Amino acid sequence: MIQMYHVHMSYSSDAPVLVDITMRIGKAEFAFVTGPSGAGKTSLLRLIMLSEACESGQLLLFGQNVARIKARHIYKVRRRIGMVFQDFKLLPLSTVGENVAVALEVMGRSRREVRKRVRSVLRLVGLEHKINSTPPRLSGGEQQRVAIARAMVSDPPILLADEPTGNLDAELSIEIDGLLSDIAARGTTVLVATHDMAWVDRTQRRVIRLERGRVVAGGLPE
């Protein structure tokens, strides 16, 4: 689902942020990207969600070389990738239902379909009863689950999550872990960036370790 071969990236003329990244993540895999702060975890996710471009090397998504996709078709690839941001990015004045519906509305789905799908994804994250609440009235863990629901509402084959347990206590982290595992078990490829080593060590999952922009372990499946 996600393949990188000798990918390099930098933000400006600054020092490179990602150096010679080679990695491969298969369908329905659940893998972590770990590494110290500044190692390049967020940048790696931004590359995969096509918010940044590779300077050199190849990125393939769904088996397609991204460099060969015409600019006017890129949005179609992007739509197949759900992203959970570190700071949630929820709209505070909109309801939970509206927050989750946004992605489908921009795709021009019918109101009936949007309503059905929003309910179903909120059920998946256990928040159907909060559909009419606004985000500031929810706990941190609930807000995180809304962010996951929003990313999953269009049923993307790839889900990326940046530090999804960053602001949560250990108990809520376990809950988010369970939810992401369920999502992977349903066939979605899940890639989670985190420096939460307690979480990573608790699970037996694949770990791709970044240090100073390089993959130092776990880039290729065993």
Ligand X SMILES: Nc1ncnc2c1ncn2[C@@H]1O[C@H](COP(=O)(O)OP(=O)(O)O)[C@@H](O)[C@H]1O
Q: Which positions lie near ligand X, rule CB under 6 A?
A: 11, 17, 35, 37-43
First to last CA, the chain: 16
Question: Which is closer to Mg ion, CB of 41 or CB of 130?
Answer: 41
Does 42 engage in binding with Mg ion (CB under 5 A)?
yes
Q: Smallest distance from the beta carbon of 37 to ligand X, in angstroms?
A: 4
- Sheet with 18-25, edge to edge strand ranges: 18-25, 2-9, 56-61, 64-65
| Sequence-ordered strand ranges (E) for the chain | 2-9, 18-25, 30-34, 56-61, 64-65, 81-84, 158-162, 189-193, 206-211, 214-217
* Whole-number Å distance between alpha carbons of 159 and 150: 11
Using CB under 5 A as the binding rule, whether residue 167 contacts Mg ion is answered as: no
Is the distance from CB of 44 to CB of 193 less than 8 angstroms? Answer: yes
Q: Using CB distances below 5 to 8 A depending on partner kind, what does residue 35 bind out of Mg ion, ligand X, none?
A: ligand X
Smallest distance, Mg ion to C-beta of residue 42, A:
3
| Residue 178 binds: one of Mg ion, ligand X, none (C-beta under 5 to 8 A by kind) | none
Nearer to Mg ion, 42 or 133 (CB): 42
Q: Cβ 209 to Mg ion, closest distance in Å?
A: 14
Q: How many residues bind Mg ion (CB under 5 A)?
A: 2
Nearest to 158 by CA among 62, 73, 64: 62
The residue (of 163 and 177) whose beta carbon lies closer to ligand X is 163
- What residues form DSSP beta bridges with 177? none
Q: How far is the CB of 110 from ligand X (least distance, A)?
A: 38
Residues near Mg ion (CB under 5 A) are 41-42
